[in-house]
C-alpha cells in the first residue's frame, strides 16, 4: 500500500538545498506503484512534480500538489556481439550507472561521468558533456502515461532529442519515465576532442587512454570546476550554452575576437555560456546568500539560507547583462518551479 505523506520538506530532495514544502509526497519503488497511485482519480487532477535526484530544479515556492519521488532501482545488461544493451531503473544515480558501465568496459557514457541526477531524468534533459549527449547512447525508454494508466516504449526517434530538449520537456506532466535502455559498445570510440580532456591525459602521461582513463579525467575536471552539492547548494550548469547562427556569430566575433565557441552544425555556432558570464564580471561574485561559483561562472550557488527567488533573481540579472554586452540571450537549463 502506497504511503502518501503530507507537508514534507523538500530541502533534502533538491541539490540547491532550498527549503520548500510539498503538500503531498510519495516515493515510487516499482513501476506498478504508479498504476496503483493513479487508480485514485484525485492524483490525476492534482498538480504533480516528478523528482529524481533533484539536481536540475530550482524551487522558488512551496508546491501545493503531489511530489512523486522516483526510486526504481536495478541495472542489467545483455551483450550481442560487440553491442551491449544496458537497462537501468529511473531511480538509479546517474554516476553510479556510469561507473557500472566503466567497470564492465561498456563504452559510450564515460564522458558523462559525474553528472548529477538520476537515470530517469537523463532523457528528459538530453544531458550532455565533453562532446557526448544522452541521445548518442540512447536506445529506448519505458514511460508511464498518466492519462491512460499504461506503459509506453519510446524509441530514440520518438523522443525528438535536441540540445537539452526532448519530447518529455515538450509534453510536461504527461509521462513518467520508469526505465531507460542504452546501446553501448565493447569497442571504445575514445572522445578527447572537447574541453580539457586531451591536456589532462597529456599531464598524466597517458597516450592510449581507456574508457576508465576518460572517466577518471572527466571526473577530475568536473571536481576542479564544479562545487560539491553536499557542501554548497547548486544545480551544476544553470544556463544552456547558446546556439546562434553563423551570421550572429560573426557580429559577436567582430566585437569580441577571443569569444569561446564550437561548431554546432547546419550553419550554427555554440558559444560558451560560462565565458560570456565571466566576461560580464560575475565569476565568484556573492550577492546576499547566493552568487556564482569561484571556479565556474556558469554555476549559481546557495551559500546558505538562500531562497529560490533570490537565485532566480540572480539568474535574471546575469541574463540581462549578457544580453546587454553581447546581444546574446541565455536560456536557463535548470527547471524552475
Provide the residue ranges of all domains of the chain, joining segments of one domain with +.
Answer: 5-70, 75-185, 233-336
Q: Which residue in the list 48, 69, 164, 179 is annotated as catalytic?
A: 164
Residue 295 has pLDDT above 80, yes or no: yes
DSSP alpha helix (H) spans, the chain = 31-38, 42-45, 94-103, 122-125, 167-170, 197-203, 211-225, 246-255, 273-279, 308-326
Same CATH topology for 5-70 and 75-185: the answer is no
SS3 21: strand
Q: Which residue in the list 118, 215, 237, 315 is annotated as catalytic?
A: 237
The mean pLDDT of 113-126, rounded to a whole number, is 94
The mean pLDDT of 184-212, rounded to a whole number, is 93
pLDDT bucket at 264, cuts 50 / 70 / 90: confident
Residue 18 has pLDDT above 80, yes or no: yes
CATH number of 75-185: 3.30.465.10
pLDDT bucket at 144, cuts 50 / 70 / 90: very high
Of the candidates 189, 337, 165, 326, which has an alpha carbon nearest to the alpha carbon of residue 260? 326
The mean pLDDT of 150-167, rounded to a whole number, is 96
- Residue 157: per-residue pLDDT: 98
CATH 1.10.760.10 fits 233-336, yes or no: no
- Tens digits of per-residue pLDDT, 90-111? 999 999 999 999 999 999 999 9
Is there a catalytic annotation at residue 245?
Answer: no
Q: Which residue in the list 87, 133, 310, 333 is annotated as catalytic?
A: 333
Altogether, the residues listed in the chain come to a count of: 337
Is there a catalytic annotation at residue 164?
Answer: yes
**Confidence (pTM):** 0.87
Is there a catalytic annotation at residue 122?
Answer: no
268 pairs with which residues across the strands? 245, 265
CATH 3.40.50.300 fits 5-70, yes or no: no
Q: What percent of the chain has pLDDT over 70?
A: 100
Kindly report the CA angle at 279 between 60 and 288, in degrees rounded to 5? 35
Amino acid at each position: 500500500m502506497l504511503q502518501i505523506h503530507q507537508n514534507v520538506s523538500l530541502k533534502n530532495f533538491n541539490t540547491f538545498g532550498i527549503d520548500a514544502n510539498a503538500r503531498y509526497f510519495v516515493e515510487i519503488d516499482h513501476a506498478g506503484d504508479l498504476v496503483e497511485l493513479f487508480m485514485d482519480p484525485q492524483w490525476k487532477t492534482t498538480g504533480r512534480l516528478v523528482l529524481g535526484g533533484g539536481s536540475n530544479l530550482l524551487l522558488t515556492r512551496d508546491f501545493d500538489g503531489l511530489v512523486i519521488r522516483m526510486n526504481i532501482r536495478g541495472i542489467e545488461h545483455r551483450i550481442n556481439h560487440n553491442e551491449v544493451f544496458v537497462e537501468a531503473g529511473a531511480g538509479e544515480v546517474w554516476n553510479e550507472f556510469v561507473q557500472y558501465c566503466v567497470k564492465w568496459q561498456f563504452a559510450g557514457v564515460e564522458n558523462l561521468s559525474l553528472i548529477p541526477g538520476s537515470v530517469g531524468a537523463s532523457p528528459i534533459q538530453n544531458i550532455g558533456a565533453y562532446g557526448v549527449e544522452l541521445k548518442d547512447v540512447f536506445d529506448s525508454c519505458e514511460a508511464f502515461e498518466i492519462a491512460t494508466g499504461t506503459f509506453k516504449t519510446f524509441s530514440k526517434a520518438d523522443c525528438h532529442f535536441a540540445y537539452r530538449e526532448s519530447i518529455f520537456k515538450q509534453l510536461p506532466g504527461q509521462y513518467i519515465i520508469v526505465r531507460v535502455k542504452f546501446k553501448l559498445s565493447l569497442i571504445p570510440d575514445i572522445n578527447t576532442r572537447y574541453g580539457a580532456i586531451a591536456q589532462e591525459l597529456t599531464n598524466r602521461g597517458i597516450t592510449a587512454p581507456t574508457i576508465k582513463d576518460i572517466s577518471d579525467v572527466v571526473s577530475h575536471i568536473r571536481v576542479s570546476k564544479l562545487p560539491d552539492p553536499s557542501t554548497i547548494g547548486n544545480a551544476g550548469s544553470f544556463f544552456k550554452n547558446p546556439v546562434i547562427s553563423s551570421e550572429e556569430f560573426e557580429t559577436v566575433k567582430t566585437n569580441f575576437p577571443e569569444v569561446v565557441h564550437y561548431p554546432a552544425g547546419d550553419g550554427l555556432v555554440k558559444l560558451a555560456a560560462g565565458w560570456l558570464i565571466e566576461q560580464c564580471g560575475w565569476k565568484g561574485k556573492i550577492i546576499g546568500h547566493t552568487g556564482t561559483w569561484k571556479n565556474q561562472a556558469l554555476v549559481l550557488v546557495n551559500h546558505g539560507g538562500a531562497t529560490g527567488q533570490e537565485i532566480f533573481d540572480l539568474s535574471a540579472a546575469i541574463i540581462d547583462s549578457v544580453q546587454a554586452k553581447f546581444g546574446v540571450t541565455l536560456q536557463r537549463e535548470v527547471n524552475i518551479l
